[in-house]
Amino acid sequence: MSGRPLASLFPADAEELLEVKGIQLVEKLGIDAIRDVVVDVLSGVNLRNATETLTRRRISLLNAALLVTYVRAAADMDGFADRVEAELRTSARRSDKRVLRWMLGLTEKQVQNVLRSDDTAWEHYVASFKSDLEETAALAEQQYGELKLGDVAGIDWLWMLYLMVSVGSQTLATRGSEKSMYGKFFEKLILGGVLHAMGLKLVAPDDTSADRVFWLSSRGRKRESDATALFGKGIGVRFDIGFIGTGNTEISLDKVSRFEREVEIGGESHFMHTFIIVDRIGTRSRIVDLAKDIDGTILQMSASYWPRELGAKLAEVIEDFDNPFEGLSDGDVHAMLSERVATAPFGEILRIEEEEDPEADEPLLT
């Protein structure tokens, strides 16, 4: 056993779970289910709630794979942490590095932020990691007695603690990466869905040949905003969207506050309004007042049927724009959103994103 790489003990059929891209969500659920998620978010449902089942399933399957890995390693746990560290330093496969980090109780972010790739810090961490687990295992045996699980050789408290540390690190890493992945993946679809529901047509970037059109920024272009909408007569709206929590919404405001009020698009001058869409605004946040200072409008996706408010705000700044949701009950708004999102050009949005940026929806390292 000692001659076999520890990472190779991880089940091969579970390796596809180590890295999931947003586009695979479409393959798993189908485009109709994706549209349902968008309608939920437009209705005020938390995106995390809509994707929690997928995240929980992936975490559970990865934990099952880690259990198999540790059962395979149980007969030879001598010098386990040192072997993991040595293998982590020499392994070339990204998937192997991910599993090996979990075995040392680490995520990629912890390596960057805590250890900072410092060899001295690594040596201290591994030594302390081993010592802590060995002392805890001895204490657990003293308090709870010898650990026995069936007839598998090598199963003891130290083995169990190594497994549980890996499970904890895997759970933390997976939740972190999926939070980022799902947020980035759905941002374009939510913007595309709500603007389509407002009666705007998706066009190529900088296309000014028609009124009431919008386009989405691609990662291949120099980023100006997440979406741009033109309403004719030289009037446009920039949209910036982010699933940003209550603690750091000012980050989004700082980003969009640098937008110019008047820009040239397709050889024509346009006066641009700024709309900022965030997940939630804290009760003591200054972002609403700060947005007024730059003539910006803030909306939060946690508000029930927030597209109705978006339509009202657009009607305030765009001449002759009629809010399609004005005066409708929540039930009628939901019905209209479902009907209009059903025809939103999600296929085109996903195709353009994939063609222009092959690395789109790349998850954070875990």
Q: If you average pLDDT over each of 16-25, 113-122, 187-196, 261-270, which comes out highest? A: 187-196
Label residue 222 exposed, middle or buried (CB < 10 Å: 0-12, 13-18, 19+): exposed
CB half-sphere exposure, 72, CA atoms < 13 A: 16
Q: Has residue 366 got a pLDDT over 50? A: no
Give the domain 200-323 fold.
Trna Endonuclease; Chain: A, domain 1 (3.40.1350)
In the structure, what pLDDT confidence band is assigned to residue 126 with cuts at 50, 70 and 90?
very high
The pLDDT of residue 359? 46
CB 278 within 8 A of CB 252: yes
Report the alpha-carbon distance of residue 52 to residue 356 in Å, rounded. 29
More confident residue, 32 or 193: 193
The more confident residue out of 185 and 199 is: 199
Record the pTM.
0.71
Mean pLDDT lowest among 62-71, 151-160, 244-253, 288-297? 244-253
Residue 100: predicted pLDDT = 96
Q: Among candidates 302, 42, 77, 71, which has minimal Cα distance to 196?
A: 42
pLDDT top residue among 355 and 273: 273
**Residue 365 reports pLDDT greater than 50:** no
Determine contact, residues 121/145, Cβ cutoff 8 Å.
no
Average pLDDT, integer, range 55-80: 93
pLDDT at 252: 56
pLDDT beyond 50 at 364:
no
> Tens of pLDDT along 230-243?
998 788 999 988 87
**Beta strand 262-265 with 201-202: parallel, antiparallel or unpaired?**
unpaired
Task: Identify whether the C-beta of residue 208 lies closer than 8 Å to the C-beta of residue 230.
Answer: yes
Delimit the domains of the chain by residue range.
49-183, 200-323
